[in-house]
């Protein structure tokens, strides 16, 4: 079974990349996960059209890696400021460009990065996470002594589902959870075309730039400072519990949680900035066929708990209508199958999973704020 998911991009054929096209094959998510991961990478990192002409639309007149372009995922909805609004307000239609963090041009560096960096440099205190002193800003990761920031973004299908189901506020999520617990609604499940990305950026030092690092990273610039994309998580609803993959720059430290790349970087990326990125691994289930725990993480995004499991950690994204402000993190360092006691009491649900999306569980605001 084959179907198109999101954008169609140039790649992977032995012909000019401006004319070759690949359609994502959902079966690859389970049968050839490394190939599926790379096809996703090429999809979301293809140059986009000016978002004023439509967010998330690839510009097929430009090959992947064209300098000075914005990639498709950068024009998706920014979770922190374009999806989960103050006082749980309903976010506007997909193509609305009026909120902070909205892309307003089709070039890099673009205002969303500048806005995020400005927020980071405002001196606002950031909460510490983990024993190593890693820091996370409201939309991703900032790491002590490494100067950087993170962001997560939703594609149109994910965003429109959030709006339609009124999941953009704590009250909306609590109402859904109440109906689920009472048996009036099935478990939350996003459409199969849903996608979300999380990117982490770090500031390049003057020494690194002198040695040419700024030519080896996909860049964002702010006030004369250069930030390189260091990590990129991509998840899709190709599988019931989502398909998970992570990419990182070749200079990133190893985490010990990588999985083998059985496909290899596509040749179409040779000679572009993207040749400096590698697949850090994929994840399709909590355990292997013999019950061994699976692991997947990134040295920057999961700094402080590198040997962990994306799918297990994200399974804890939930909403308890009896305690809607409860922290969804009960055991964030776990791997393997989740503990059913986090969801059931006396064999009955008392919380509702937010379908693995911490963007829902941690970023939504209350209308009472």
DSSP assigned state of 230 = E
In a domain, 323, yes or no: yes
Say which range, 72-76, 85-89, 101-105, 135-139, has the weakest mean pLDDT: 135-139
CA–CA dist 227, 208 (Å, integer): 11
Adjacent-strand bridge partners of 200: 150, 231
Say which range, 108-112, 189-193, 313-317, has the weakest mean pLDDT: 108-112
Residues 6+ apart with CB under 8 A from 81: 99, 100, 101, 115, 139
In a domain, 2, yes or no: no
pLDDT of residue 20: 37
CA–CA dist 150, 138 (Å, integer): 9
In a domain, 321, yes or no: yes
* pTM score: 0.86
- Domain span at residue 337 reads 28-363
Strand, helix or coil for residue 217: coil
In a domain, 301, yes or no: yes
CA–CA dist 242, 34 (Å, integer): 15
- Top mean pLDDT of 116-125, 269-278, 305-314, 360-369 is at 269-278
Q: Is 140 left (phi over 0), alpha (psi -120 to 50) or beta?
A: left
In a domain, 17, yes or no: no
Tokens representing 34?
A: 């490394």
Q: What tens digit of pLDDT does each residue of 145-160 get? A: 344 567 889 999 999 9
In a domain, 16, yes or no: no
In a domain, 249, yes or no: yes
CA–CA dist 42, 47 (Å, integer): 10
Q: What tens digit of pLDDT does each residue of 77-134 get? A: 988 889 999 999 999 999 998 887 677 654 444 445 555 555 555 544 333 222 222 3
DSSP assigned state of 83 = I
156, 80, 1, 10: which is closest to 362 by C-alpha? 80
Q: Domain count of the chain?
A: 1
Tokens representing 261?
A: 């790349």
CA–CA dist 294, 309 (Å, integer): 7
In a domain, 59, yes or no: yes
Is the bond preceding 180 in cis, omega lying within 30 degrees of 0?
Answer: no
- Determine contact, residues 147/230, Cβ cutoff 8 Å: no
pLDDT band, very low/low/confident/very high, at 2 (cuts 50, 70, 90): very low
What is 281-318 written as a DSSP string? EEE-SSB-TTSPBP-B--TTTTTT--S-BHHHHHTT-E
Q: What value does the mean pLDDT take over residues 25-48?
A: 95
Sign of torsion, CA 38 44 45 47?
positive
């Amino acid at each position: 079974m084959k179907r198109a998911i999101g954008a169609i991009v140039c790649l992977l054929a032995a012909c000019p990349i401006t004319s070759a096209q690949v359609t994502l094959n959902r079966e690859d998510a389970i049968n050839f996960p490394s190939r599926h991961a790379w096809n996703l990478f090429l999809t979301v990192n293809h140059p986009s059209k000016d978002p004023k002409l439509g967010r998330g639309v690839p510009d097929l007149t430009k090959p992947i890696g064209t300098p000075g372009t914005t990639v498709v995922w950068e024009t998706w909805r920014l979770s922190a400021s374009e999806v989960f609004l103050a006082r749980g307000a309903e976010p506007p239609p997909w193509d609305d460009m009026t909120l902070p963090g909205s892309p307003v041009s089709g070039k890099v560096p673009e205002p969303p990065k500048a806005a995020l960096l400005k927020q980071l440099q405002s001196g606002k205190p950031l909460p510490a996470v983990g024993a190593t002193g890693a820091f996370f800003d409201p939309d991703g990761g900032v790491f002590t002594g490494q100067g950087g920031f993170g962001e997560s973004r939703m594609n149109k299908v994910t965003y429109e589902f959030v709006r339609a189901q009124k999941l953009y506020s704590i009250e909306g999520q609590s109402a859904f959870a109440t109906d689920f617990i009472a048996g009036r609604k099935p478990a939350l499940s996003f459409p199969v075309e849903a996608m979300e990305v999380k990117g982490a950026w770090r500031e390049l030092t003057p020494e690194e730039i002198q040695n040419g690092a700024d030519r080896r990273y996909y860049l964002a610039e702010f006030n004369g400072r250069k930030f390189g994309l260091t990590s990129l998580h991509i998840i899709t609803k190709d599988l019931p519990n989502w398909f998970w993959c992570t990419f990182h720059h070749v200079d990133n430290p190893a985490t010990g949680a990588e999985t083998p790349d059985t496909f290899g970087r596509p040749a179409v990326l040779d000679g572009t900035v993207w040749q400096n990125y590698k697949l850090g691994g994929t994840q399709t289930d909590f355990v292997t066929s013999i019950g061994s725990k699976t692991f997947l993480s990134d040295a920057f995004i999961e700094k402080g708990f590198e040997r962990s499991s994306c799918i297990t950690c994200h399974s804890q994204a939930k909403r308890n209508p009896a305690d809607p402000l409860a922290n969804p993190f009960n055991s964030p360092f776990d791997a393997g199958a989740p503990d059913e006691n986090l969801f059931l009491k006396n064999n009955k649900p008392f919380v509702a999973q937010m379908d693995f999306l911490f963007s829902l569980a941690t970023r939504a605001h209350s209308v009472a704020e």
